[in-house]
Structure 1
Amino acid sequence: MARVVLDAARDHVIGVRTDDDALHPAHLVVVATGRTSRLPAGLLAGGLPAPDLLRVDGNLSYTSRVYRRDTASPPPWQASLQATLAPTARRGGTVVALEDERWLVCLFGADGQSAPTDPAGFSAYAASLANPHIKDVVSHAEPLGAIYRYGGLGGQWRRYDRIRPWPRGLAVLGDALCVLNPLYGHGMTVAAQQAVLLARMLDAHGPAACGHFQRRSARTLLLPWYLSTSLDLGWRPERAPVAALLARRYLARLLRRVPEDPELYRRFLAVQHMTASPLTLLAPSPRTRRGGARP
């Protein structure tokens, strides 16, 4: 794996060194090597501090399988969700339409719950959910592959934005910067936002923009980090911060309303996919304006 190489003064990159000890000169190095990035150790070896690490273990897992989608009688929806929510809703899942006429079914587990990886156990877990769409796909659609489980879900944020001074020509993005719990689907969106931001800043200012980029990229993480960790903290034994408790309480009320309010569900998905502000969830939906309770 390539290692970042700094100049003697440690104020800019001069390239990367590969495992064969060859130095490849570069004025710009972008570290996008994922959650197992070795950059913190590389910075220490180069005489710089390692970044502060924020970590939240969500104690969550998901188990997934792909199914064939029947195009002869398609349902009037593209995705359906049953969320987990601390402290009582330990099971959940989602079914999402994929390309090539396929369904992706993911079954969620929290606080010790985990969907089995054998077909009978997977089907029984799906049948235990209240969501009828997930149960229907698992019961009637043709499976197209094996069952996979991914556990130990949570988040970790390496605060490179706090390192001063930051080496010129070094940029970190994606999971190498911040791992967001994949259960909430924010990681690729945030990485894409960071890539666009980096491209714009490099076009305007060149490699000298990298320090400013790290500080700006931290702002793109504030909302998804807050959303995911507020939920994940609910599964930990210690008391969560007040802000996380309030966010989780509001979300619980929101999710109770979602199955009966399509407009609210659309807004919720827009926020979840980071195409709309969370403030849109505070506006009353048509159902609320007709006299229903607000979430």
Structure 2
Amino acid sequence: MYSDRALVIGAGFAGLLAARVLSESYGDVVLVERDQITVDTEHRAGIPQAHHPHALLARGAEALEALFPKLGAELAAAGAVEADLGSDFMSRAPAGWAPRDPIGLKVHSMTRVTIEQIIRRRVLKLPNVSLVDGVTIDGLLHDRGTVTGVHGRRADEPYTDYADLVVDASGRTSKLVSWLAEFGVHCPAPMIVNGHLAYTSRLYHVNHDLKLDWKTAYEITHAPTTRRGGAVSTVDDGLWFVTLFGAGGDAAPTDEDGFLAYATTLECQDIAEIIKTATPASAIHHAPNLRSRWNRFHKVPNWPRGLLALGDSVVSLNPVYGHGMTLAALNCTDLRNLLEDHDLANEPLVFQRAVAKSAQIPWTSATTTDLGWSQRKLPRSTRFTQWYARHLFEVIPGNPQVYRAFIRVSQMVDHPAALFRPAVLRRVLWSALSGSRPRARER
């Protein structure tokens, strides 16, 4: 047995952040990763979503900056595009175009590959953090209610490693539920919401001949009538990331003609124009059947000591809504704060409850939207939230104040209660009761 040693399963985004935090409290931190990986590894099998856009919400960027000082400046130096969420975004809701007034809230737009490479370099420079790659974990080592390490295979040889604390950050494909069942710890059935959404993405080289007055353009899907949407973002390395959304079972094709034809059905014709005229920089990648899943580990009374879980291993949200990286960053902020006052190896449920608390708002946001495509009868609270959201979107095109409130909530900067403040509530209720909409701007 080792003392003062932490082991993190998974060296993706969440695992790297966890290792960064644990390096402050543990003398030795080991990242154990299934893929072969180097500091400069780009696309790998364990991160299929890297072929699609990744949003780092404003709240997530703030949390990351606290963990990695001057990260924003480093991202900008690597080519990440800084954009105001109002003036630099062209947004289309079903009722019309959103206002383009500056909001004063900025985000960086970049590929998943770029942000993960930068964070990986930083983490692996820490003197007490190491990486062991090419390892397939088959289960947990345990002794009388305490997890003591992991076992698996590396290069067809048995692999065993011990630690005082094991953190599962292996993501959507986590096998933690079955590993726990092997030694008598049974978890509640996960909550799963499937919105039957899909997205199809491709990178393009920026075409400077197209004179566009935005850095990101997007058109949302909205139940029950608007099944198609799309987005294009200017990202690092002089690229555009084009993604076409399909909801309620709709999906964009992966052949070139079909991809373009789907884009031409959108109101935002800039997306189709880019596909027509820009040079492709990647293949077309498709991700079907996107869903949200919550493993309710915080409700397991005999949760073993020496084990924590975070990120997508616990709550994996429909990636269309862009919560994943931000939620992982918030989990690791909680981890850092709780380690100041708690021995989490002996009090793991303290952390799992914090993970559940951080997940509540983004889970409700993502699943309420996806349940709009459901044919079954929904709870009254969900129906009310959907009704309010529908009328909120009708007000947005002609009202900068309402749009600003919506953006701050969607970026997790403000609590959703901000959308029920009098200035917003009056406009939404007036629209709902009178049937009138504010005048929207032209494209």
Deviations 1:1-21 (A, max 9, x none): 2222221x21x2111112344
Q: Which runs of 5+ in 2 are unaligned?
A: 1-135, 439-443
**What residue identity is the alignment partner of 1:171?**
L
Please, what is the CA RMSD of the aligned residues?
Answer: 2.4
* Cα distance in structure 2, aligned partners of 1:281 and 1:136: 35
How far off its partner does 1:41 sit? 0.8
Q: TM-score, normalised by structure 2?
A: 0.61
- 2:61 paired residue number: none
How far off its partner does 1:93 sit? 1.2
**What residue identity is the alignment partner of 1:157?**
W
Could you tell me which of 10, 14, 18 is aligned with 2:152?
Answer: 18
* Cα distance in structure 1, aligned partners of 2:306 and 2:151: 15
Deviations 1:28-61 (A, max 9, x none): 1000111111111111101111343111111110
**What residue identity is the alignment partner of 2:237?**
D
> Against the structure 1 CA distance between its residues 258 and 132, is the aligned structure 2 distance closer, same or farther, given a 3 Å change threshold?
farther
State the number of aligned residues: 291
**What residue identity is the alignment partner of 2:151?**
R
How far off its partner does 1:226 sit? 0.5
Map 1:95-114; keep pairs closer than 5 Å.
95-114=232-251
Could you tell me which of 260, 280, 284 is aligned with 1:123?
Answer: 260
> Against the structure 1 CA distance between its residues 194 and 180, is the aligned structure 2 distance closer, same or farther, given a 3 Å change threshold?
same
Map 1:201-216; keep pairs closer than 5 Å.
201-206=338-343, 207-216=345-354
How far off its partner does 1:173 sit? 0.7
How far off its partner does 1:166 sit? 2.1
- 1:217 paired residue number: 355
Q: TM-score, normalised by structure 1?
A: 0.90
Q: Is the CA contact 1:202–1:209 (under 8 Å) kept in the aligned structure 2?
A: no
Q: Is the CA contact 2:174–2:313 (under 8 Å) kept in the aligned structure 1?
A: yes
How far off its partner does 1:227 sit? 0.7
The 3-state SS of whatever aligns with 1:254 is helix
Matched, 1:40 2:177: yes
Q: Is the CA contact 2:149–2:161 (under 8 Å) kept in the aligned structure 1?
A: yes
- 1:242 paired residue number: 380
How far off its partner does 1:270 sit? 2.7
> Against the structure 1 CA distance between its residues 41 and 168, is the aligned structure 2 distance closer, same or farther, given a 3 Å change threshold?
same
* Cα distance in structure 2, aligned partners of 1:205 and 1:49: 25
- 1:172 paired residue number: 309
* Cα distance in structure 2, aligned partners of 1:282 and 1:133: 34
Q: Is the CA contact 2:394–2:437 (under 8 Å) kept in the aligned structure 1?
A: no
* Cα distance in structure 1, aligned partners of 2:323 and 2:313: 14
What is the aligned-residue identity percentage?
37
> Against the structure 1 CA distance between its residues 75 and 262, is the aligned structure 2 distance closer, same or farther, given a 3 Å change threshold?
farther
**What residue identity is the alignment partner of 1:30?**
V
Could you tell me which of 227, 231, 241 is aligned with 2:369?
Answer: 231
Q: Which runs of 5+ in 1 are unaligned?
A: none
